[in-house]
């Protein structure tokens, strides 16, 4: 599994592809909020799709909504969760 910048770019590519975002992966900042007006503006339906995509592409299992809130803050928080030792 790739780490560091490569992993973050792959996460962005998965988000653009799976969520059909209208922007390039390279234009998404690592620390930009995924949800809300100040960030990418994704909603709860996007969150569900993102959880499924992260499991499919990276094997990242997110067990509940409380855990999801912490993990799905930004590309950076997703990458850190993927990089955690098993």
**The two structure tokens encoding residue 26:** 């390279």
- Alpha carbons within 13 A on the beta-carbon side of 8: 14
Tens of pLDDT, residues 39-84: 999 999 999 999 999 999 999 999 888 888 899 999 999 999 999 9
The pTM assigned to this predicted structure is 0.92
64: helix, strand or coil: coil
For the chain, what is the total number of helices (H) and then of strands (E)? 4, 0
Nearest alpha carbon to residue 2 among 50, 56, 58: 58
Domains and CATH numbers, the chain: 4-83 (1.10.1200.10)
- For 19-43, what is each residue's pLDDT tens digit? 999 999 999 999 999 998 889 999 9
């Amino acid at each position: 599994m790739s780490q560091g910048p490569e992993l973050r770019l792959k996460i962005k590519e998965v988000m653009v592809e799976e969520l059909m975002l209208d922007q390039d992966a390279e234009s998404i900042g690592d620390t930009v909020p995924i949800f809300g007006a100040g960030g990418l503006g994704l909603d709860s339906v996007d969150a569900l799709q993102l959880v499924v995509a992260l499991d499919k592409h990276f094997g990242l299992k997110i067990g509940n909504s409380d855990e999801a809130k912490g993990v799905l803050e930004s590309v950076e928080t997703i990458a850190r969760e993927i990089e955690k030792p098993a």
